[in-house]
Amino acid sequence: MAQQQDSWIPPDIDTDTPSGARTYDYLLGGSHNFAADRHAAEAAERIMPGIAQVARLNRAFLGRVVRFMIDQGIRQFLDLGSGMPTVGNVHQIADRAHPGCRVVYVDRDPIAVAHSELMLAANDHAAIVHADVQYPEDIFASSPACRLINLDEPVGVLMLALLHWIPDEADPGAVVADYRRRVPVGSYLAISHLTSDQQTDQITSAVGMFNRAKGTDQATPRPYSQVEAMFGDFELVEPGLVGCGHWRPAGTGDITDDPETNRQIYGGVGRKVHPNQ
């Protein structure tokens, strides 16, 4: 069994420290994670019960956002910080709603990239870029983006459970602004972000525990005002920036009976209506 597992681990990977992508995969019930990722997730769950449900609410939010954008005419997506390939990826959701949609995934985790490359090898409409989302010029210049993303047409840009992994000193607001500037009028931007102004003590404790594990990723929860500011002058579509469970829920899996759980990650979608936004 160990040999079989080793075959899917890229060389030079430290499996003893957790990563955000693999911990999230475990919380979603995925199988591409290591003991360190599972221990980090379980420790966070002990500090903040319900964190696995928060991850699933965020995943359900992804599905609703993609279907909403397709209803608005979006046919190409840039999924930044896409993470491990689990059930309900963007290209799977999009293909069911409108076959032929094009998707470019981006992640810096080599394991997430390796698995995505295998999963997408025979797919002409989707590909992954191994890159750091903090450098959009590299992403837009990549071969997959040049092949699949047409910047003369609106793009659906997805930054779900991503920006809280970018530290303040890297200026995540400026990173988002660069993406907003590059896409044409009619494009949409979706953001979900771990909050620091709901269940503050529990979230601070859970995030502190994860960060102390010295993983490759360090989380920075942020308050509502900072998350909202990341949309810049994009017009927020109804219902605005809300707990992601409250963003246009369509069924029982989209929202829970616990109002605190629904608000632990903010979610919203904005539309570019002016060229200079």
Average pLDDT over residues 58-80: 96
Domains of the chain: which residue ranges? 2-271
What percentage of the chain carries pLDDT values higher than 90? Answer: 53
pLDDT of amino acid 5: 47
SS3 state at 174:
helix
| Cα–Cα distance, 236 to 233 (Å, whole number) | 9
Average pLDDT over residues 223-245: 96
* Mean of pLDDT over the chain: 85
Alpha carbon of residue 185 to chain centroid: 22
| Cα–Cα distance, 179 to 101 (Å, whole number) | 20
Confidence of residue 140 (pLDDT cuts 50, 70, 90): very high
Answer whether residue 2 shows pLDDT above 50: no
Average pLDDT over residues 58-81: 96
Q: Are 235 and 273 in contact (CB under 8 A)?
A: yes
DSSP letters for 112-141: HHHHHHHHHTT-TTEEEEES-TT-HHHHHT
Architecture of domain 2-271: 3-Layer(aba) Sandwich (3.40)
Average pLDDT over residues 149-158: 98
pLDDT digits (tens, 9 = 90+) for 197-208: 865 566 666 666
Answer whether residue 214 shows pLDDT above 50: yes
pLDDT of amino acid 1: 37
Average pLDDT over residues 258-274: 83
The pairing of beta strand 156-160 with beta strand 76-80: parallel
Confidence of residue 196 (pLDDT cuts 50, 70, 90): confident
DSSP letters for 199-234: SHHHHHHHHHHHHHTT-S-----B-HHHHHHTTTTS
